Chain A
Amino acid sequence: MRDTQKHIRIALPVAALALLVALPFLAQLAGQPALVTLATRMMILGLAASALNIALGFGGLISLGHAAFYGVGAYAAGILTTHAAEGTLFLGLIPGSDQLLVNMAAALLASGLAAAIIGALALRTSGIQFIMITLAFAQMLFFFFVALKAYGGDDGLSLRRRNQLFGLNMRDDATFFYVTLVVLLAWLGICARLLHSRFGLILGGIRQSERRMQAVGVDTFRYRWLAFVISGMGAGLAGALMANLGRFVSPDMMHWTTSGELLIMNVLGGAGTILGPAIGAFALIGFEAVLAGWTEHWQIILGPLLVLMVLAFRGGLARIGRRA
């Protein structure tokens, strides 16, 4: 009995991965090339949700401001790309870049820095205040980018072309799909390593009982802060990819509803698991796409469903599965 469960646990992700790898071909066959872009979007938001999971699921930190780090990463990539196209310097110092690897590194750096500062402040509190403060600081960054007229302000920033990577044809949606898939898999690998590392175990201990971990002599603030920073960096990485996918960056990416959706994805798929948040992202975006096909007012269905999900199943499909 336990054996079959174990087999399923290995077989399902392998099957899902095979399906993903084959997806561009299948979409071509079905004459639905838009599916490739949709799936890329799912993977990018899956990456962002999985990044939030490090703070939320591993660290027990309910951040309602992760859209900010996602947006900061997108802007980091977008701004460098713009400077590369214009041949100008960012802040008169830093040359632009149209290399995806460079821009992803810049996104990690910028969003990590933002998360480091916001985390250091927000972690001085806990509980409901932490939720409110992360939301408030995200809104602050939202206003900052709205006011940033040099990079489009309210209207956002259009990029002429996607970033380069090893001479691949990045304009091809299928190529970009595979690049995103590789980044996502690498990130999930890092998450898995992290969860089972010393760091991950201590984080789990803090989540369950901060006082006990303190009594054992752990500097709990430092671990939570580090989890928050890594989590923000992952969201920034997703932002850099999203900037490339749509060749567009705007303050709307950091709208607070994005933060809410990232939370929903986590709960839907199961926060605290490795694959759960990504699965949640696929489910939510897929569901939204289907609902949006029915009616323009799909949120009037999604809202009550969300309430029902929380009330009836104590939060999440994953928890239903675990109980069964």
Chain B
Amino acid sequence: MALVLEQALNGVQLGVMLFLLAAGLTLVFGIMGVINLAHGSLYMVGAYAAAAAAKFTGSFLLAIPAGLAAAALTGMVVEYVVVRKLYARDHLDQVLATFGLILFFNQSIVLLFGRQPMFVQIPPALSGAVNLGLFAYPVYRLCIIVAGLLTAGGLFWLIQRTRLGMLVRAGATHRDVVQALGVDIRMLYTVVFGLGALLAGFAGLMAGPLLSVQVGMGEQILILTFVVVVIGGLGSVAGAFWGALLVGVVDTSLRAFLPQIMRLMMNNSEADALASGVSAMGVYLVMAIVLLVRPKGLFPGHA
């Protein structure tokens, strides 16, 4: 029981990370109609900036603003220089240009930091485990869950309750009207893109101490984020949230429990091989099922 709960928490932890990425991706699509393959690169930039800051200053507190600022700034520059010119283009052009950006970012990171992965220490204040009654859970992972949920709440508040959020919602459905009412829509786009980049960078800097910070980390999680967005429904932030939790929990629990279940049915080595294959494919199979039942995702957006 304790193990199941612990894995469920791990699933939620992966889920909130995926949400931070999926929210930006789905906002950028919902409002600008752009598919941004380089979204994972912004996650990578956040992770590297934070890792470098932590390494040079020795302080995780300084690493947080460094990661956030680097990702948001990179995002806004990318929007201003490249993505802005892609709004009116077809999806194929968007795919190619952002693919080019990925090549550029990955190779730049190789030039700056080398191919060796960087490792980030969990800050001492957050290391160790907290007793949750049935089991002890790492403080750092718990912090990620809390920070992720708070960010999600903040994002909903921002979109539903503030003037900026109103413009974002209006811009998604009635772009021309918003522009006609005198809103600087280009500025709005840059801000939204920067916000998405900020969220991606936040996920990246939090992932640093858990995973190794390395080139290509962005694309790995980007493809999983696509699965989230497809399951949740393109253009919907709520869909991104529930889709991310579903993908996080399914992926984590398959990896944790499938080998043991399979071992009941066959010998150990075969069971492990089969289980690792099936659990790696698990979330994609969930996506296939969702596509069969609801092709537009669980929470279809307006876009």
Given contacts A128-B234, A139-B284, A300-B104, A121 and B291 within 8 Å (CB-CB): yes
Stretch at the interface among A143-151, A174-182, A195-203: A143-151
Please state if A267 and B96 are interface contacts (CB–CB under 8 Å). Answer: yes
Q: How far is the CB of A84 from chain B (nearest CB, A)?
A: 24
Please state if A64 and B288 are interface contacts (CB–CB under 8 Å). Answer: no
Which of A127, A129, A150, A304 has its CB near the most chain B CB atoms (within 10 A)? Answer: A129
Could you say which interface size class chain B belongs to? 35 or more
Please state if B223 and A303 are interface contacts (CB–CB under 8 Å). Answer: no
Please state if B91 and A303 are interface contacts (CB–CB under 8 Å). Answer: no
**A267 contacts across to B, CB distance below 8 A:** 92, 96
Tell me if A27 is interfacial: C-beta within 8 Å of chain B: no
Name A275-324 residues within 8 Å CB distance of B.
Answer: 297, 299-300, 302-307, 309-311, 314-315
Tell me if A243 is interfacial: C-beta within 8 Å of chain B: no
Q: How far is the CB of B105 from chain A (nearest CB, A)?
A: 8
Total A residues in contact with B, Cβ cutoff 8 Å: 45
| The one of A137, A148, A149, A297 that contacts B107, using a Cβ cutoff of 8 Å | A297
**A8 contacts across to B, CB distance below 8 A:** none
Tell me if B129 is interfacial: C-beta within 8 Å of chain A: no
Contact with A along B77-121 (1 / 0, CB 8 A): 000001001100101110111011111111110110000000000
Please state if B91 and A147 are interface contacts (CB–CB under 8 Å). Answer: no
Q: How far is the CB of A57 from chain B (nearest CB, A)?
A: 10
Tell me if B276 is interfacial: C-beta within 8 Å of chain A: yes
Tell me if B277 is interfacial: C-beta within 8 Å of chain A: yes
Tell me if A109 is interfacial: C-beta within 8 Å of chain B: no
Please state if A300 and B35 are interface contacts (CB–CB under 8 Å). Answer: no
| The one of B86, B277, B291, B296 that contacts A148, using a Cβ cutoff of 8 Å | B277
Q: How far is the CB of B36 from chain A (nearest CB, A)?
A: 10
Given contacts A143-B280, A147-B276, A300-B108, A307 and B97 within 8 Å (CB-CB): yes
Q: How far is the CB of B45 from chain A (nearest CB, A)?
A: 15
Number of A-B contacts (CB under 8 A): 131
**A307 contacts across to B, CB distance below 8 A:** 82, 97, 100-101, 104
| The one of B29, B277, B296 that contacts A125, using a Cβ cutoff of 8 Å | B296
Please state if B100 and A132 are interface contacts (CB–CB under 8 Å). Answer: no
**B246 contacts across to A, CB distance below 8 A:** none
Please state if B223 and A304 are interface contacts (CB–CB under 8 Å). Answer: no
Taken together as a complex, chains A and B put the C-alpha atoms of A203 and B128 apart, in Å, by 61
Q: How far is the CB of A310 from chain B (nearest CB, A)?
A: 4
Name B272-291 residues within 8 Å CB distance of A.
Answer: 273-274, 276-278, 280-281, 284-285, 287-288, 291
Give 9 nearest A-B pairs by CB, closest first: A147-B277, A306-B100, A303-B104, A303-B103, A140-B284, A143-B280, A132-B226, A300-B107, A124-B295
With A132-B229, A309-B96 given, name 9 new contacts (CB 8 A).
Answer: A56-B92, A121-B291, A131-B95, A146-B277, A148-B277, A264-B96, A297-B107, A306-B103, A310-B96
Q: Which residues of B line the A interface, CB within 8 A?
A: 29, 35, 82, 85-86, 89, 91-93, 95-97, 99-108, 110-111, 219, 223, 226-227, 229-230, 234, 273-274, 276-278, 280-281, 284-285, 287-288, 291-292, 295-296
A-B contact pairs, 6 of them (CB 8 A): A125-B296, A131-B95, A263-B99, A302-B103, A303-B103, A310-B93
